Amino acid sequence: MGSGLLRGGFKLKGFGAEISAPGLRKNACVAQALQSPDAPESLSFFSAGCELSRVGCRFVIGTRLVRQGVSSVARSAWGGGFVGRTSLDDGGGGEVEEEEEEAEWTVQDSDALYRLHGWGAPYFAINVAGHLCVRPSGGTEGRDEVDMMAVIDSLTAQQLQLPVILRFPDILHHRMRELQGCFSSAIAKFGYQRHFEGVFPIKCNPECHLLDQFVEFGFGLEVGSKPELLIALSKLSSRDGALLICNGYKDSVYVENVVLATRLGIRAVIVLEQIEELEEVVACSQRLGIRPIIGVRAKLSTKHNGHWGETSGDKAKFGLTVTQIVSVVYRLRQEGMLDCLKLLHFHIGSQISSILVIKEAMREASHTYCELARMGAPMGYIDVGGGLGIDYDGSKGHSSASVNYNMQNYANDVVAALMDACLLKGVAEPVIVSESGRALASHSSVLVFDVLHAPHHTKNPASAFLDNVSEAEDLHLDSFRNDYASNPQSQDAGEYLLSTFYQVCATLELGNIQEAFNDAKQLRQEASSLFRLGCLSLEQRAQADVLYEKVCQQVLGFGSRLPKEFKLSFPTLYTCNLSVFRSAPDSWAISQIFPVMPLHRLNEKPTVQAILADLTCDSDGKIDRFIGPSGEMSRALALHSLQEAKPYHLGLFLGGVYQEMLGSAHNLFGGVNIVYLRALGDGDFAIDFVLPGQTAGEVLGGTHHSHADLLKELVTQSSSSVAAGKLSQKEASLLIANYQRCLDSYTYFSMPSDFLYHKSNSESTLVHTTA
Ligand SMILES: *Cc1c(COP(=O)(O)O)cnc(C)c1O
């Protein structure tokens, strides 16, 4: 099957119905039609399957069908003992197979295990090839589906190295349309008199091309610092009437630029966050003779309990207290500038997980707004800040990483609170501005990286050594024990420990698994104690370690037959080609959970419980908090065992905001490659552009090591070593060439240059070429 997709028909033995897949689209992948006049979605299709399963056959069907509006029928069919199967090897003329003992692992199982539907819908799904795919325009039929593995193949073919951030601007567009749509329907539903406008907070992700997406779509920008203001002034200057919300600490240059920007046609609102800023604004406006657009940021007393709760409440770092707000009104009135006060802003923190907090904050803010209008300010805008959260773990509100509301609930509550207050106080309704960042940009970026190493992947050279010893020792086991029974004192402690360990290993079976595993843990600990006391040789201690590893392997070998109550207390460490500090800093800094899952082999049961270690030499450089299968936080992630010479790709999702900028160069790992992708339909995609990650030289420059100076020093030193006969000319050239190449290359682990990705049968395999 060239493309790895199901094509052609296949017969179901013993039933006579033919399921064929005529004229399948390039990326469509299911048995779609029944030979009968019935539509493929028909019940008879599924009851046929049920019948077959009753006579002990397995009915082979792709997932896509299940997704195409027949899920309930399909579910009843699954429930009827019918096995979903999505592997593609049946394509040529698959036959109904004999029922096996254990139901085969399906992509639905993977979907449930990683809670993909919970956090990923409608943008991420699994195709029948068991690959993760992206649906950038959020359509459920997947007409725009892009197979992530196809993307990775294409990037590797172009020599682009992992880790890489894949960015889908279409997801951003979908999110913006969704937010606007939710506000439009709330506005229509309540008969609200004004409209909604979105501004994107630059701090969420200031990357140039990403901001362009927002500006081109018609969103405004929110800035919180002078450099951010520089970006916004330039990007918005060509957009007549664009909205610019200016927060943050403001010195006189900042204020002056914002005031001048109004002359460019930008609706630049200077939001007073500190009372001291008021005099600066008044003075600047008088100096330039320009009337500014002024806003005030309110410090609400509504508090939110999440991580960013400190942004809210009386002790918050930002905003004006009610006394200060009232004094701003008096002072502006005194200066004859009250007509400049047009906006009330608040932001009580990011990722608000409870809708109740939003309702309460909205009530407080709405009344503050109305009071300002009643005191004579023209007003006209309310800016409800950010805080709109997303469901990181797909638990729909059952954890702090989640939210108990959706975008529509949010919009409804914002509009409803404003309606209520405005009606009550007889004030005209304001334009609603929101500064959502997280909710708009998180989904659009996926970090793709690969696993470099896992302990049991490559055969431990020590295991071979153990295998030899093991046989020899086995022979002596009985004599050991006899000797020991007759004279314990004469027995070498190390030998005794090892013989007991061998015994545990040899007699391990499903029935005594917990006991044997506990023994192994204890024996390993005792081995290290004995070593500390000088009673065990280094070789003996190594043997104990290898035996322990062997027990673990045996245990893992039982796979799904392991008793439910059996808990492996150690996850396997998978070393990954990334830096947590660079690419997922919140996972380290604030224990944020990001969805992580494999991008392929999702039709295979994962058998390893893993935690992810990164490349940095820092014990914090790991990811060990994941979404558990039933929504709880889990300390390990179910992954597949690595296959010899084949890459294993993982994706980290929902990291489109904050991570890229908070990420730091710990251990001097640099910014990663970013690729902008667009779906073209029918499985095709376009790489719009690639933003190369940092080279080592660039990262070093950030710590004031000059590329040229470093190289010069090395060249000088090698020359004198060559002159002194310590280094050959050839070695010196190699050293300099390598050094230079490293300075110019990516900071992450690179596969040896003679390893190339080789595409065969839609499976990427790593092949060694000797050319
Ligand atoms: C950070 C920030 C935002 C963005 O908040 P999200 O929760 O990411 O939407 C909006 N407004 C202000 C003032 C901010 O500081």
Q: Are the CB atoms for 411 and 198 separated by under 8 Å?
A: no
Distance CA 368, CA 384 (A): 12
* Confidence (pLDDT) at 41: 40
pLDDT at 85 over 90: no
The CB of 205 under 6 Å from ligand 1? The reply is no
Nearest CA to ligand 1 atom 3: 386
Ranking 8-12, 144-148, 206-210 by mean pLDDT, the lowest is 8-12
Residues 290 and 436 in one domain: yes
CB contact burial 94-105 (16+ within 10 A = b; e otherwise): bebeeeeeeebb
Reported as a pLDDT band with limits 50, 70 and 90, residue 36 is very low
- Residue 134 Cα to ligand 1 midpoint, Å, equals 27
pLDDT at 622 over 70: yes
pLDDT at 382 over 80: yes
Between the two ends of the chain, the Cα-to-Cα distance in Å is 28
- Convert the pLDDT of each residue in 447-457 to its tens digit: 999 999 887 54
Q: State the residue for tokens 């997303």.
A: 390
In the chain, the percentage of residues whose pLDDT exceeds 90 is 65
Residues 347 and 278 in one domain: yes
Among 539, 561, 583, the domain boundary falls at 561
- Convert the pLDDT of each residue in 624-648 to its tens digit: 999 987 778 888 999 999 998 899 9
- For residue 436, CA distances in Å to 238, 266, 349, 609, 716 come to 23, 20, 11, 36, 54
- Select from 593, 584, 450 the least CA-distant residue to 114: 593
- Convert the pLDDT of each residue in 412-438 to its tens digit: 999 999 999 999 999 999 999 999 999
Residues 6+ apart with CB under 8 A from 426: none
Q: State the residue for tokens 């207290």.
A: 321
**Residue by residue, what is the 3-state secondary structure of 454-494?**
CCCCCCCHHHHHHHHHHHHHHHHHHHHHHHHHHCHHHCCHH
Mean pLDDT of 43-57: 39
Residues 390 and 352 in one domain: yes
Mean pLDDT of 383-393: 96
Distance CA 77, CA 74 (A): 5
Give residue 307's domain range. Answer: 195-444
Q: pLDDT averaged over the chain?
A: 82
What is the atom index within ligand 1 of the atom nearest the CA of 657? 8
* Confidence (pLDDT) at 569: 63
Nearest CA to ligand 1 atom 4: 386
Mutate to test the pocket of ligand 1, among 199, 204, 310 (most ligand atoms within 8 A of CB): 204
Domain-located, residue 647 = no
- Convert the pLDDT of each residue in 481-497 to its tens digit: 565 566 666 567 888 89
Domain-located, residue 574 = no
**Beta pairing class for 293-297 and 267-272:** parallel
What is the Rg, in whole angstroms, of the alpha carbon atoms belonging to the chain?
32
- Residue 303 Cα to ligand 1 midpoint, Å, equals 15
The CB of 204 under 6 Å from ligand 1? The reply is yes
* Confidence (pLDDT) at 196: 98
The helix (H) or strand (E) run that includes residue 496 is helix 493-507
The CB of 248 under 6 Å from ligand 1? The reply is no
* Confidence (pLDDT) at 316: 74
Reported as a pLDDT band with limits 50, 70 and 90, residue 400 is confident
Cβ atoms within 10 A of the Cβ of 163, count?
25
The CB of 247 under 6 Å from ligand 1? The reply is yes
- Residue 437 Cα to ligand 1 midpoint, Å, equals 6
pLDDT at 86 over 60: no
Domain-located, residue 640 = no
Residues 299 and 392 in one domain: yes
Q: Cα angle at 219 between 262 and 587, to 5 degrees? A: 115
The CB of 429 under 6 Å from ligand 1? The reply is no
pTM of the model: 0.79
What is the atom index within ligand 1 of the atom nearest the CA of 440? 9
Residues 440 and 514 in one domain: no
Among 543, 561, 579, the domain boundary falls at 561
| 161 vs 571: which has the higher pLDDT | 161
pLDDT at 101 over 60: no
Distance CA 305, CA 734 (A): 58
Residues 16 and 81 in one domain: yes
* Confidence (pLDDT) at 607: 86
Token digits for 230? Answer: 């520089």
Enumerate the active-site residues: 617
Q: How many domains does the chain have?
A: 4
Among 561, 592, 623, the domain boundary falls at 561
- Residue 311 Cα to ligand 1 midpoint, Å, equals 10
- Select from 593, 529, 602, 605 the least CA-distant residue to 562: 605
- For residue 581, CA distances in Å to 417, 532, 615 come to 41, 36, 10
Distance CA 393, CA 568 (A): 23
Distance CA 196, CA 243 (A): 12
pLDDT at 352 over 90: yes
Reported as a pLDDT band with limits 50, 70 and 90, residue 248 is very high
Distance CA 666, CA 493 (A): 45
- Convert the pLDDT of each residue in 743-762 to its tens digit: 999 999 987 543 333 333 33
The CB of 437 under 6 Å from ligand 1? The reply is yes
The CB of 349 under 6 Å from ligand 1? The reply is no
Q: Torsion-angle region of residue 69: left (phi > 0), alpha (psi -120 to 50) or beta?
A: left
- Convert the pLDDT of each residue in 124-145 to its tens digit: 999 999 999 999 999 877 789 9
Mutate to test the pocket of ligand 1, among 350, 388, 414 (most ligand atoms within 8 A of CB): 350
User: Which neighbouring-strand residues pair with 147?
Assistant: 133
Decide: helix, strand or coil at residue 686. Answer: strand
Mutate to test the pocket of ligand 1, among 202, 203, 271 (most ligand atoms within 8 A of CB): 203
Q: Torsion-angle region of residue 453: left (phi > 0), alpha (psi -120 to 50) or beta?
A: beta
Q: State the residue for tokens 């090591």.
A: 705
The CB of 438 under 6 Å from ligand 1? The reply is yes
Domain-located, residue 299 = yes
Q: State the residue for tokens 């699954």.
A: 78
Q: State the residue for tokens 């501004």.
A: 199
Residues 292 and 439 in one domain: yes
* Confidence (pLDDT) at 491: 63
Reported as a pLDDT band with limits 50, 70 and 90, residue 552 is confident
95-100 contacts at long range (C-beta below 8 A, 24 or more positions apart): 95/10, 95/11, 95/12, 95/13, 96/12, 96/13, 96/14, 96/15, 96/52, 96/57, 96/58, 96/59, 96/60, 97/57, 97/58, 97/60, 98/56, 98/57, 98/58, 99/53, 99/56, 99/57, 99/58, 100/58
The CB of 359 under 6 Å from ligand 1? The reply is no
Reported as a pLDDT band with limits 50, 70 and 90, residue 80 is very low
What is the atom index within ligand 1 of the atom nearest the CA of 204? 8
User: Which neighbouring-strand residues pair with 268?
Assistant: 244
The CB of 319 under 6 Å from ligand 1? The reply is no
* Confidence (pLDDT) at 481: 55
H helix runs in 262-394, sequence order: 277-288, 322-334, 355-374
Domain-located, residue 624 = no
* Confidence (pLDDT) at 16: 31
What is the atom index within ligand 1 of the atom nearest the CA of 203? 1
pLDDT at 563 over 80: no
* Confidence (pLDDT) at 103: 76
Mean pLDDT of 548-569: 76
Mutate to test the pocket of ligand 1, among 179, 202, 210, 222 (most ligand atoms within 8 A of CB): 222
Domain CATH number, residue 357: 3.20.20.10
Residues 260 and 380 in one domain: yes
- For residue 328, CA distances in Å to 311, 376, 430, 574 come to 22, 12, 20, 57
532: amino acid identity, one letter? R
Domain-located, residue 520 = yes
Burial of 64 (0-12, 13-18, 19+ CB in 10 A): buried
pLDDT at 220 over 90: yes
* Confidence (pLDDT) at 143: 85
- Convert the pLDDT of each residue in 658-708 to its tens digit: 999 999 999 999 999 999 999 999 999 999 999 999 999 999 999 999 999
* Confidence (pLDDT) at 447: 98
- For residue 600, CA distances in Å to 10, 31, 647 come to 25, 21, 10
Domain CATH number, residue 484: 1.20.58.930
- Residue 422 Cα to ligand 1 midpoint, Å, equals 25
Nearest CA to ligand 1 atom 5: 386
In this structure, the dihedral spanned by the alpha carbons of residues 699, 701, 704 and 708, taken in order and rounded to 10 degrees, is: 130
- For residue 65, CA distances in Å to 125, 260, 681, 683 come to 13, 58, 19, 17
What is the atom index within ligand 1 of the atom nearest the CA of 352? 7
- Residue 436 Cα to ligand 1 midpoint, Å, equals 6
* Confidence (pLDDT) at 106: 96
The DSSP code for 573 is E
- Convert the pLDDT of each residue in 260-295 to its tens digit: 999 999 999 999 999 999 999 999 999 999 999 999
- Residue 346 Cα to ligand 1 midpoint, Å, equals 10
327: amino acid identity, one letter? S
Residues 400 and 483 in one domain: no
What is the atom index within ligand 1 of the atom nearest the CA of 349? 7
pLDDT at 335 over 70: yes
In the chain, the percentage of residues whose pLDDT exceeds 70 is 78
Residues 81 and 221 in one domain: no
Distance CA 325, CA 296 (A): 7
Domain-located, residue 646 = no
Residues 327 and 208 in one domain: yes
| 607 vs 324: which has the higher pLDDT | 324
- Select from 381, 412, 404 the least CA-distant residue to 185: 412
Token digits for 569? Answer: 């207390």
pLDDT at 34 over 60: no
Nearest CA to ligand 1 atom 10: 386
Token digits for 7? Answer: 């094509």
Domain-located, residue 350 = yes
Mean pLDDT of 138-157: 91
- Residue 123 Cα to ligand 1 midpoint, Å, equals 23
- Residue 139 Cα to ligand 1 midpoint, Å, equals 28
Residues 361 and 498 in one domain: no
* Confidence (pLDDT) at 83: 32
